Amino acid sequence: MDDGEDYLHEVQFKNQRNNAVNDNITSFYIETEKFNKVEDKLITNLDKWIYFIKNLEIVCF
| CA–CA distance, 12 with 7 (Å, rounded to integer) | 17
Q: How many domains does the chain have?
A: 1
Whether 49 maps to a domain, the answer reads: yes
Whether 3 maps to a domain, the answer reads: no
Is pTM beyond 0.75? Reply is: no
| CA–CA distance, 6 with 1 (Å, rounded to integer) | 10
Whether 1 maps to a domain, the answer reads: no
pLDDT at 57: 81
Q: Containing domain of residue 18, as a range?
A: 8-60
pLDDT at 8: 93
* Residues 2-28 pLDDT 10s: 555 799 999 999 999 999 999 999 999
pLDDT at 61: 60
pLDDT at 50: 95
Tell which residue, 34, 33, 30, has the closest CA to residue 49: 30
* Residues 26-54 pLDDT 10s: 999 999 999 999 999 999 999 999 999 99
pLDDT at 56: 87
